[in-house]
Amino acid sequence: MIRLLGYFFGIGAVLFLLVAGGIAWYVEGMAKDLPDYQVLADYEPPVTTRVHAADGALMAEYAKERRLFLPIQAVPALVKNAFLSAEDKNFYTHPGVDVEGIGRAVLMQIKGGPLQGGSTITQQVAKNFLLTNERTYDRKIKEAILSLRIEQAYSKDRILELYLNEIYLGLGSYGIAAASLSYFDKAVNELTIDEAAYLAALPKAPENYNPFRSKDAAVARRNWVIDQMVSNRFVSAEDGAAAKERPLAINPRASGLYLAASQYFTEDVRREIIQRYGVKALYEGGLSVRTTLDPKLQSEALAALRRGLVDFDQARGYRGPVKTIDIGSDWGKPLGEVPALADVPEWRLAVVLGVETGGASIGLQPARTVSGALGSDREVGRIDLSDMKWALRLNTATRKGGVRGADDVLSRGDVVYVEKKGEGDSYRLRQPPKVQGALVSMEPRTGRVLAMVGGFSFSESEFNRASQAYRQPGSSFKPFVYAAALDNGYTPASVVLDAPISLPDGNGGFWTPSNYGGGSAGPSTLRLGIEKSRNLMTVRLAKDMGMELVAEYAERFGIYDKLGRYLPMALGAGETTVLRMVSAYSVIANGGRSLEPSMIDRVQDRYGRTIYRHDERRCATCNEPSFENQPEPELVDERDQVLDPMTAYQITSMMEGVVQRGTATILKELGVPVAGKTGTTNDEKDAWFVGFTPDLVTGVYMGYDNPQPMGHGSTGGGLAAPIFLDFMRDALKGKPPVDFNVPEGMELIAVNRKTGMRAGEGGSDSIMEAFKPGTGPSDSYDVIGMDAVAASDTRREVSPEASQAIVQGAGGLF
């Protein structure tokens, strides 16, 4: 019997050794092809890039996986304990593998059930970072081996940090920091017990516990986590019970863009970041971008431009409804399917339910719930005839002209835009303008773009007319022609002939430019030429200097990369952008220093290191540890001087005259020193005004995307200047007036407005003019162009390229 027992024992021992050897051989084979867990040491997860305004307000976030990396030291104990209770309560004591959990999973499989988890947090890290999601024994064994190795190489806190930042928690959020914002619009240190427990309930299956589609399951799972936290003594029974009684109060954070007014600006910043660092850096690099945007000025700029566009558009009449729908038994459903302008929140879509001569009853588009479903409430209102009088002028494809009643304009089922009128249920009729425009406002000393609006609505059109639309600037280009003259021997009192002129057009005919409205004033000073925007004077001045010089200055200011050397270009026939024009005017406003326009102040990488800074001025003593009566620190500006500071003041003074006596007198209302120039192109297709105070330069453009006449009288002074006024009125509110700085050495001398010769101070026909040292009013009456009226005007041949420029448009009317 003993022998038999020994025999069986020997067989058992051999079998045991064989099985153990087989297992060892199998495990060794599994271990050979395992991924290198050392890569976890250099783990850099894809992190959200965040774009901020100058005041720190969040403008936008960009990410393929919305994630904000959070060091373990910054994770509150409440949040850590919630996840430990839900996922791995023995995390800080086990070696990486929970033997009991694995045994439970194997037993379930033997009984014919599904393959269970039983994974520790370390195993989940191994799976998420190094393995696939396949549910097999091979993968589980590899996971266990890697977990043991990871535990030997890294601290428990580092493993937990990796886990809490990597896991997917639904709503497009990766990691606890992003999920806390997505579900509750809170930082993790603001979460309550019930909120932390809900986030901890999600790792297993976020979609199964979706708070909108599976609310009951989500609450049940959250409460189970709370019970585990109580069982593990992480929270008291009283606090746990109170947490379970709270509703699942989800408060989703809006994703993507947060300052709706800044969308055109933000999109340009996005493109610049991609150009500098690449797509991957933007969507995965976790960059922190501090922009130059001033949110207050941006909102004012958007409002001013929209008011100007709407006023112009409404004066042209009503073009018809957005669309027409079948009202049926529930008008809310078809109306809810019509896309609205998301970035014009004060306007709402509505459907006409009934209409009579005196007005219309309307149903407003239902709001959507946080889950995206159409709301069940049906809100109604009314448009009175007095709130749609502008629409009594019809401008539809089938009917034009005036009508008398609302029922001549609207029909039942018409979908239109409306804007609430104070309290009650009264609304105004609105329509998105067909005409477009742009506004850019810049800090002249630094080139920082403080506000940029590229159109009426980014939702309607993402094309940025401030930076992407190349249009003729018209007469707003003239100051650079005059600046070139002033920089090369002319003075503001130089006299040029304002009289008809004809030049060969290269096709056997003649180009005969004219002043806006016709007529001419005879010999006039350069100042008068700017103030009254005289085309004939500008052509003669450019001809006298030579277009080579004019083009050189235009390129030096950055208005054009290369300007054709043709006289029509002196009237603004070349195409450029609002941003370029504002940058060029900023050079004049800052005293002639070159600048590079910038929408980004600073870029930091995911670790907070500054990798780009716009301001490159040096300051040797700015970081002194203490002040001991040494001189104040000085910023050394090494930018090029592209225009004589005295010339810059002269042309500024002349453009002040545009506001005081010229084509933009509407701006005198501001009551502060303002300089600027209007611009209108042939057939009134484009209207411009670019102007500035000592501290702010702003440019406004208006025109159709497909260039077409805007109507007689649609000038820069009549369309763009009022928008400039509307914006600057708010921008300058509460700020004291600042005079333009007169450079040291300049002499102010009284001259006759008409002749440019010395005059007595205080006379009705005199004006104080600024002269550079060694210059002054002419002692003799010399008129540029007078000797060429009969002869030289028709001598010069024009190239085919110039001919094309002439035929397509001379620009620069007013």
Tokens of 792: 């030289």
| DSSP SS3 for 418 | strand
Helix ranges restricted to H, 167-247: 176-184, 193-200, 215-231, 237-245
**80 Cβ partners below 8 Å, 6+ apart?**
160, 164
Q: Which of 87, 267, 531, 656 is catalytic?
A: 87
Residue 355: strand pairing partners: 360
Q: Which of 180, 182, 441, 475 is catalytic?
A: 475
Residue 746's φ and ψ, nearest 5 degrees, are -75, 150
Residue 443: strand pairing partners: 448
Residue with tokens 């009549």: 718
Neighbour-count burial of 324, counting CB atoms closer than 10 A to its CB (0-12 exposed, 13-18 middle, 19+ buried): middle
| DSSP SS3 for 595 | coil
Chain-centroid distance of CA 569 in Å reads 32
Separation of alpha carbons 546 and 524, rounded Å? 20
Respond yes or no: is residue 583 known to be catalytic: no
Tokens of 118: 């039983």
Residue 701: strand pairing partners: 438, 688
Q: At what angle do helices 645-660 and 478-486 cross, to 10 degrees?
A: 140
Separation of alpha carbons 431 and 703, rounded Å? 17
> For residues 545 and 488, is the Cβ–Cβ distance under 8 A?
yes
Tokens of 228: 């585990």
Tokens of 744: 């040291």
DSSP designation for 719: I
Q: What is the 3-state secondary structure (H, E, C) of 71-96?
A: CHHHCCHHHHHHHHHHHCCCCCCCCC
| DSSP SS3 for 492 | coil
Helix ranges restricted to H, 596-679: 645-660
CB atoms within 10 A of CB 540: 26
Respond yes or no: is residue 475 known to be catalytic: yes
Residue 173's φ and ψ, nearest 5 degrees, are -105, 135
Using only C-alpha atoms, the chain has a radius of gyration, in whole angstroms, of: 36
Separation of alpha carbons 658 and 263, rounded Å? 33
Single-letter amino acid code for the residue at 268: D
Using alpha carbons, select from 192, 256, 259, 177 the residue that is nearest to residue 229: 192
> For residues 359 and 385, is the Cβ–Cβ distance under 8 A?
yes
CB atoms within 10 A of CB 247: 8
Classify the C-alpha dihedral 576-579-581-583 as positive or negative: negative
Q: Provide the annotated active-site residues.
A: 87, 475
